[in-house]
Amino acid sequence: MSNQRIDSLRKRLIELQIDVFLVSNYYNIFYLSDFKTLTENEREAWMLVTANDIYLFTDDRYIKSQSSIRQLADKAHKLKLLTPEKGLIRHLQEIFTEENIKTCGVEAGDLRLIEFQHFIKHIREARFIPTDRLIVKLREIKDDDEINKVKVACGIADQCLEEVIKTIKIGTTEKEIAFKIEFWLKQKNHDLAFYPIVAIDKNSALPHYDTRDGNNQAVENGSVVLIDFGAKYQNYLSDITRMIFIGNVNQEIINTYNKLLNSQEGTIKFLDTMRSSHNYFKEVDKFCRDKNEVQSLPNFSHSTGHGVGLEIHEYPKVSINSEDKIEPNQIITIEPGVYFEGKWGMRIEDTLLIKEEGVEVLTKLDKKSLIISNS
């Protein structure tokens, strides 16, 4: 699996006339090597891919403790210990000199400016070349193993949400619902893809309402409840949004929901007709917005969708400015919304797999108007 990914990266390096590539991004290191550190936002590991070798740099916390390190050694990765006396710079100087390296690609979207300046200052053996989304674009096309893991993550999310919805009643708060989701997952040895967005009534009018910092609105008779969350399975994620209506809900809200559902499902069908011609995702985004407009629904400020995989927001982008093409084995979301500031809002989201023979909806929880009695 990882060897094929390394081969794809090496092919791109040859096309770009770059000798070696220094990987700094946590998720990209995992994607290429199956190795990950404890903290994704700290520089606890680096990876160098050359024409013939794969070097992994990390400290003794991981080299001494992780079985994945031993597995990497079995795959002929060359492990380099980072210490205060011999850090990454020294290691790179030695490798570049030994292998006569003249150019080294780096991840422009991940590497910090101060890190880049540090490399230029201290390593004169090679020229550092910023590259844009080199590995991220490789990750856009999922292999069978990745697809299967996302499918399982979607099934877990479906089951979790179906059971949690049954517990919602008048008086239940946003944070209670978020807790129930997390507790359900962890009881079954799963985890969250991201902290759930649970937004009730006027909070649902905020597309990315932060439940942790919100006012912890409680469910009332006639409430609109938006739940946006995902499950994680073996490092791969799912993403789903469903609407729940409580008790005597205004008919205008139900009518709006049915129109939005028509837009969402219509966009999925449109995507299915576009997939075989390698069209652009921006056409899918435009179709969705036009569908809303025809039904007298307001436009929404966020994109129509996004890629899902190791991260909850990946490429391709399903937005009006996207230059990404529709390709087989991409996994994306379709998630139009409508928002009325100070009143209520709604969003419907599914995770989808684009296949040669059609589009498969991976999140399968029913989307019909779900109205819970006001007991």
CATH of the domain at 31: 3.40.350.10
> Which of helix, strand or coil describes residue 82?
coil
Q: Within this chain, do residues 121 and 199 fall inside the same structural domain, yes or no?
A: no
Q: How many folded domains does the chain comprise?
A: 2
Tell me how crowded residue 123 is: count the other CB atoms within 10 A of its CB: 19
Which range marks the domain in which residue 109 is found? 2-139
Q: Within this chain, do residues 32 and 70 fall inside the same structural domain, yes or no?
A: yes
The span from the CA of 324 to the CA of 335, in Å, is 17
Q: Within this chain, do residues 35 and 172 fall inside the same structural domain, yes or no?
A: no
Q: Within this chain, do residues 126 and 222 fall inside the same structural domain, yes or no?
A: no
Question: Would you state the pLDDT for residue 314?
Answer: 97
Nearest alpha carbon to residue 113 among 50, 30, 24: 24
The span from the CA of 257 to the CA of 337, in Å, is 9
Nearest alpha carbon to residue 228 among 257, 263, 204: 204
Q: Mean pLDDT in runs of 10 for the chain (375 residues)?
A: 85 96 97 89 93 92 63 68 92 94 96 95 93 95 97 98 95 98 98 98 96 96 97 98 94 95 97 83 97 96 97 96 95 98 97 95 90 65
Q: Within this chain, do residues 91 and 191 fall inside the same structural domain, yes or no?
A: no
Q: Within this chain, do residues 191 and 76 fall inside the same structural domain, yes or no?
A: no
Structure tokens at 10: 């090496």
Q: Within this chain, do residues 190 and 305 fall inside the same structural domain, yes or no?
A: yes
Q: Which of 139, 161, 195 is a domain's end point? A: 139
Nearest alpha carbon to residue 33 among 317, 235, 296: 235
Q: Which of 97, 124, 139 is a domain's end point? A: 139
**Whole-number Cα distances in Å, 58 to 63, 73, 82:** 7, 13, 5
* Residues in the chain, total: 375
Q: Are 332 and 306 in contact (CB under 8 A)?
A: yes
Question: Would you state the pLDDT for residue 125?
Answer: 86
Q: Within this chain, do residues 176 and 247 fall inside the same structural domain, yes or no?
A: yes
Question: Would you state the pLDDT for residue 1?
Answer: 46
Q: Within this chain, do residues 360 and 225 fall inside the same structural domain, yes or no?
A: yes
Residues near 16 by beta carbon (within 8 Å), at least 6 away in sequence: 105, 129, 131
CATH of the domain at 272: 3.90.230.10
ω into 298 cis (within 30 of 0)? no
Question: Would you state the pLDDT for residue 370?
Answer: 76
Q: Within this chain, do residues 129 and 187 fall inside the same structural domain, yes or no?
A: no
Q: Which of 86, 110, 139 is a domain's end point? A: 139
Q: Within this chain, do residues 230 and 170 fall inside the same structural domain, yes or no?
A: yes
Q: Within this chain, do residues 187 and 244 fall inside the same structural domain, yes or no?
A: yes
